[in-house]
Amino acid sequence: MKRIRGYRYRAYPDKKQQEFFSKNFGSCRYVYNHYLAMRKAEWEEWHGTMSYNDTAKDLANNLKKENEWLKEADSSALQQSLRHLDNAYQNFFSKRAGYPKFKRRRSDQSYRTMNNNNSIRIEGDVIRLPKAGKIKIVNTRNFEGRILSATVSMTSSSRYYISLQVEEEYEILPNKGGTLGIDAGLTVLYTDSDNNKIINPKTLSKHEKRIRRLQRELSRKKKGSKNREKARTILAREHEKVADIRNDFQHKMTYRLANENQVVCIEDLNVKGMMRNHRLAGSISDASWSEFFRKLEYKMEDRGGTLIRVPRTFPSSQKCSCCGRQNRAVRDLSVRTWICPECGTKHDRDVNAAVNILAKGLEMLAS
């Protein structure tokens, strides 16, 4: 069985390679923004639109001739930039995303290049890329497969990464065959049907005081000065530190859940809608439910497991997991424990919800 999987490596390019990457980032950004402006203008003027083929022809016949410096960049990366623009429009037309936005110089930078004639390959602790040569990496993950493409990215704090898209053969890994229901929360990241509660690490909250101080220091620096650039880099590193800690925690939790269970049932939360509540948006973002469940889903698939999403309309918190009686008084979120008026069972709100989610998920799986 074949699959396409990503492998990400921390890269340490030398000064010459950093300059080449900077040129590539700038060239791809320029091409993307140029044709976004062109497509936008055509639509506003006469409701016309350019296809990917139209932009590719114009790039080769006109833009590269008008701007000779574009020839110094990786030609495959420029073509992929046009692909990304076309995909952004397709997502917009399909209502999966908003209207494409212009790329900014100060945000994270990246470019993608394709593996033509084995131009991308790993040789020990280096990766060979078109026009960039051999780039030193931390080679922590080995694989056997065909490299399809490579994405070079630079974070706001100037950390470099190279992500490879690899087509490979794979075997389904084993798991311990358990079944589990999960009820997500904020104070407790999740409560499961086995009465286990995983405390939310609240990574952003723990670093919020330092982030605010660094933001104030940045705002006092003169625009365009070297001190402002240093302050911006320090602030970016702090944000990346928060993201790294959260990412590490999520990988450990989802790895354990996927190893121990064949079926995991969760509630299909409307996270985007919940984020509109300005009082809870920060806490929901810090909990990062969507990313947690995304990691869990692909890890379950790797081990032959199944992640079932129970509809959000299912009254998991209100329903008694013993007799099935629905208690509408439990809609008040301040009620953390309650006694079923029908059978007299005392419930912990979150544990009861997790048990109900598991039961509903297994019912959906059987049907």
Catalytic residues: 183, 267, 350
Nearest to 33 by CA among 94, 68, 97, 78: 78
Q: Tokens 């084995």 sit at which residue?
A: 118
Q: Please enumerate, as own/partner, the contacts of 57-65 that have beta carbons within 8 Å and a separation of 24 or more.
A: 59/31, 59/35, 63/31, 63/34
Task: Tell me whether strands 133-137 and 126-129 are parallel, antiparallel or unpaired.
Answer: antiparallel
- Rounded Cα distance between 107 and 104, Å, is 6
DSSP 60: I
DSSP 70: G
Give bridge partners of residue 190 from the DSSP assignment.
184, 198
Alpha-carbon distances of 241 from 130, 187, 200, 206, 282, rounded to whole Å: 31, 21, 17, 12, 17
Hey, what amino acid is at 150? A
- Rounded Cα distance between 312 and 44, Å, is 40
State the number of CA atoms in the 13 A half-sphere of 124 facing the CB. 3
Question: Which are the contacts of 198, defined by CB distance < 8 A and separation ≥ 6?
Answer: 188, 189, 190, 191, 192, 253
Q: What are phi and psi of 299, to 5 degrees?
A: -70, -35
Residue 321 CB-density burial (10 A; 0-12 exposed, 13-18 middle, 19+ buried): buried
CA 361: distance to chain centroid?
26
Nearest to 21 by CA among 155, 132, 162: 132
Tokens linked to 254: 């989802």
Nearest to 321 by CA among 356, 275, 358: 356
Residue 203 CB-density burial (10 A; 0-12 exposed, 13-18 middle, 19+ buried): buried
Nearest to 190 by CA among 287, 280, 273: 287
